[in-house]
Amino acid sequence: MASFKKAILALEDGSVYQGNGFGAEKTVVGEAVFNTSMTGYQEILTDPSYYAQIITMTATQIGNYGINEEDIESDGPKAAGFVVRELSPVTSNWRSVKDLSTYLGENGIPGIEGIDTRNVTKKLRVDGAMKACLTTEDISPDEAVDRARSWGGLLGVDYVKEVTCSSPYLWGDRNPQPSPPFTVTGTNLYTDLSNRERCNIVAYDYGAKWSIFRKLNHHGFNIEVVPADFPADQVLAKNPDGVFLSNGPGDPSALPYAHEAVRGLIGKTPIFGICLGHQILTHAFGAETFKLKFGHRGGNQPVKNLETGVVSITSQNHGFASTDEELKKAGAVVTEINLNDHTVEGLRHADYPIFSVQYHPEAAPGPNDADPLFDSFYSLVAQSKGIPTA
């Protein structure tokens, strides 16, 4: 397990945390954020939505079940850096192929352990997400602070271009096939949907997680994935039964090409968006987004559906949100809110077959409360196509 004598996490406000380094021997800058998930560090690290972010985990010990080959959400870790209270000295799981430090080292990502992550989390929650520098190299605390302050930040920067696919492809041709249904003592935990008539959709890759495509595939969709800048007329030329807008990193206002493309699809095909896709829909409708103080990141975010009264526990990872009043003026109906801060968590268009949520319904990692959203999308597409929804 790779380990260095010292490491530093420095924040733009001058705060410095010194601990033990692991992973890559490297210096990185990015936005310091925290995630409240108790498990799922492998899925979190490989989520492209975390591009350019240095993640602090609030769970005390991380790395105890190592790294496996099944739970990755992209072609490799996308986070800038990783901060934990204690890196587990023991890796124990039958699926594990290597320890966390080795994995990060192989992928050029530095980590720091042995610092007060509770203090870091409280600071970010009170003062907001900050520019940060994480180094496992021999630089001074003052230099680390200077590097944090000199980083450009997220606002106005297009990070989607760093994580989107380079060209269209059919899901399954280039990526891992869906895993066999997960079972416990012989019981299939996934509903058998193999008798559904298949629907063909186009999925915009703004930094999508593989579990999203696996879930869409399981729920009855054949998927053609296209890059973030794919024009609307080329999507419509494929005659899709629907369009999916994925998650992704960064500032949604910095993606005018995505706003324009989605605007060209409104009223012409059913659309389902999640996370960044939800925010891009917001801009396509003519509304705005704003940066949250410290964001929503974790597998325990409570969301209330205003139309049904149902409260779901959701998995989330975003630092921006949609404006309520502007959405309503733009013809959208706010369907869900976050019970912690009452920000918008879901919408549907009043006139067109379009809906979106701010969270991650594929639950990787996280609870499965939002899984029925994939059925809702299938029903919307099936109704538009005129086929049975059973």
Domain edge (last residue) among 119, 150, 181? 150
Contacts of residue 189, defined as CB under 8 A and 6 or more positions apart, other chains included, come to 181, 182, 183
Domain edge (last residue) among 150, 172, 198? 150
Q: Determine the Cα–Cα distance for residues 209 and 52; give it in Å rounded to an integer.
A: 16
Burial tier of 188 (Cβ tally within 10 Å: 0-12, 13-18, 19+) = exposed
Q: Give the pLDDT confidence of 126-156 residue by residue, as tens digits.
A: 999 999 999 999 999 999 999 999 999 999 9
Q: Which amino acid is present at 233?
A: D
Clarify whether residues 362 and 302 are in a common domain.
yes
Clarify whether residues 324 and 357 are in a common domain.
yes
Clarify whether residues 185 and 326 are in a common domain.
yes
What's residue 185's pLDDT? 39
CB–CB of 125/34 below 8 Å? yes
Tokens linked to 116: 């007060």
Clarify whether residues 145 and 180 are in a common domain.
no
Q: Give the pLDDT confidence of 15-49 residue by residue, as tens digits.
A: 999 999 999 999 999 999 999 999 999 999 999 99
Domain edge (last residue) among 89, 122, 150? 150
Tokens linked to 64: 């105890």
Q: Which residues are catalytic?
A: 275, 360, 362
What's residue 2's pLDDT? 52
CATH number at residue 287: 3.40.50.880
Q: Determine the Cα–Cα distance for residues 195 and 217; give it in Å rounded to an integer.
A: 13
- The candidate with the shortest Cα–Cα distance to 177, out of 219, 226, 220, 214, is 214
Bridge partners of 21, per DSSP, are 4, 112
CB–CB of 366/40 below 8 Å? yes
Domain that holds residue 9: 3-150
What's residue 191's pLDDT? 76
What's residue 385's pLDDT? 86
**Cα–chain center distance at 73:** 10
Clarify whether residues 131 and 199 are in a common domain.
no
Regions of the chain short of the pLDDT cut 70: 1-4, 173-190, 390
Clarify whether residues 315 and 349 are in a common domain.
yes
Q: DSSP letter at 64?
A: T
Clarify whether residues 190 and 326 are in a common domain.
yes
Q: Work out how many domains the chain is built from and give that number.
A: 2
Strands of the sheet with 344-349, listed across from one edge: 169-170, 221-227, 199-205, 242-245, 271-274, 354-357, 344-349, 332-338, 289-305, 311-322
